[in-house]
Amino acid sequence: MIYRTEYMQRLKSFKDNKIIKVITGLRRSGKSTLLQMFKDELLENGVLNEQIQYINFELMKYDNIRDYKQFYDLVIENILPNKKNYLFFDEIQQVNGWEKTVNSLSLEYDVDIYVTGSNAYLLSSELSTLISGRYVEIKILPLSFKEYYEYYSSTGISKEELFNNYLKYGGLPQLLSLPQDEQTIGSFLSSIYDTVILKDALYRNKLKDIDLLKRIFAFICNNVGSITSANKIAKYVANEAKLDASLRPASIANILEMFENAFIIYRANRYDVRGKEVLKSLEKYYLADTGLKNTIVGYNLENYGHTLENVIYLELLRRGYQVYVGKNDTKEIDFVCINKEETHYFQVSETIKDKVTQEREISAFYSTNDFYEKTIFTMDKTYITNINGIKIVNIIDFLLS
């Protein structure tokens, strides 16, 4: 198992208090393993096994626990009196009304509660109302390239080759235990894709048209890093896929929301860098894992630049930024990143060795009317680290920093 340092530190910072820790993320991104690691550390640090309850609601032994009252009875039966109780509930969205049980346990007993889920409905209005101000969401992503590299660093494989594998196969942790060949990994990723579509994207939704979902997901995979909209996708479905021409953009928007709620895609809204405001139309979408994207569109050079952009987008999320697509008059800045301390502009380009490409990438930063830091990420290996005040950073070096 890879020790997920960043996420473990966040869990530790909330340990032994009444704040409910809610871990969300794409299926197979490492949520269950994170809970197991945390449980193991508790045991190593003197917590008794009897103080810990670990329930994975995807296991057959808990298949009959689908009601919050059954759930409550199961837990209190094993509560240890006069001791802190550590409660781990994995894929808790399987239980109807689970938030009522968690809320009651938190109020009645000396408990430290950790839950995971693969769908954003986990944090629906019902939960927010019941435990408002008493929970923290920890959003987990697949392995970063730094985590991936550290796992393989003792093998002697160059970081460039490892990066190519990472771009190609993605960063789902379970991949590390599989033979590194296309057929095996492709079969694994296809099964994850089907599971996400069937179990998570459709969760709480009445839509039964799986073919439509897959066509829309394929469109997103083929248009990663491109400005799009529900209207554009609706036209694609009608004109190219030969499906119902009356399909409304509102229906497409609902399906996109389903994918977002399953943590399989992320939306980057546009940000007007001159007006300093978020725009409400024409966004970009990125995949939670490049391996899933490549499973749909294949491995080809045409998608290489967009795959690089996707990896950078996810890394910026990991580093705590709100990530937007920048609109600078008629120019586009790949990413406008904002946090409490700073605003930063980023461009992503496979290479800027030729003058035309270099000028195109740099010109996006012209006339922003501010002095925010500006950086171009590239795969180029060069001693040039600055052009007219704009930083030039190698992508692999950035990801490993």
Question: pLDDT tens digits, residue range 11-49?
Answer: 999 999 889 999 999 989 999 999 999 999 999 999 999
Interhelix angle 290-297/182-195, rounded to 10 degrees, is: 100
| Lookup: tokens for 80 | 């240890």
Average pLDDT value for the chain:
90
CA distance 36 to 331: 47
- At the second CATH level, the architecture of 5-139 is 3-Layer(aba) Sandwich (3.40)
d(CA 173, CA 155): 17
pLDDT at 210 over 90: no
Look at residues 333, 337, 347 and name the one whose alpha carbon lies nearest to residue 395: 347
CA distances from 162 to 151, 181, 227 (A): 10, 13, 30
The pLDDT of residue 194:
86
The per-residue pLDDT for range 146-156, each reduced to its tens digit, is 999 999 989 99
User: pTM higher than 0.85 for the full model?
Assistant: yes
- Joined tokens for residue 152: 């393989």
**pLDDT band at 242; cut points 50, 70, 90:** low
At 110-120, the pLDDT tens digits run 999 999 988 88
Q: Which residues contact 283 (CB under 8 A, 6 or more apart)?
A: 227, 228, 229, 267, 268, 269, 270, 325
pLDDT beyond 60 at 125: no
Residue 130 C-alpha from the chain's centroid: 26
- High-pLDDT (> 70) share of the chain, %: 95
Determine which of 30-34, 175-179, 234-238, 274-278 has the lowest per-residue pLDDT on average. Answer: 234-238
- Residue 202: its pLDDT value, please? 72
Residue in the block written with tokens 């069937």: 198
Q: Where are the domains of the chain?
A: 5-139, 147-401
**What's CA 285's distance to the chain center, in Å?**
12
pLDDT tens track for 254-303: 889 989 988 999 999 999 998 899 998 889 999 999 999 998 888 877 78
Backbone angles phi, psi at 336, to 5 degrees: -105, 120
Give CA–CA dist 318/313, Å, rounded: 9
Q: Taking residues 105-113, report their average pLDDT.
A: 95
pLDDT for residue 3 is more than 70: yes
Which position has the token pair 């950035």? Answer: 398
Angle, helix 68-76 to helix 98-108, in steps of 10 degrees: 30
- Split at pLDDT 50, 70, 90, the class of 62 is very high
pLDDT greater than 80 at residue 247: no
What is the band of 214 on the pLDDT scale with cuts at 50, 70, 90? confident
Which of the four pLDDT bands, split at 50, 70 and 90, describes residue 168? very high
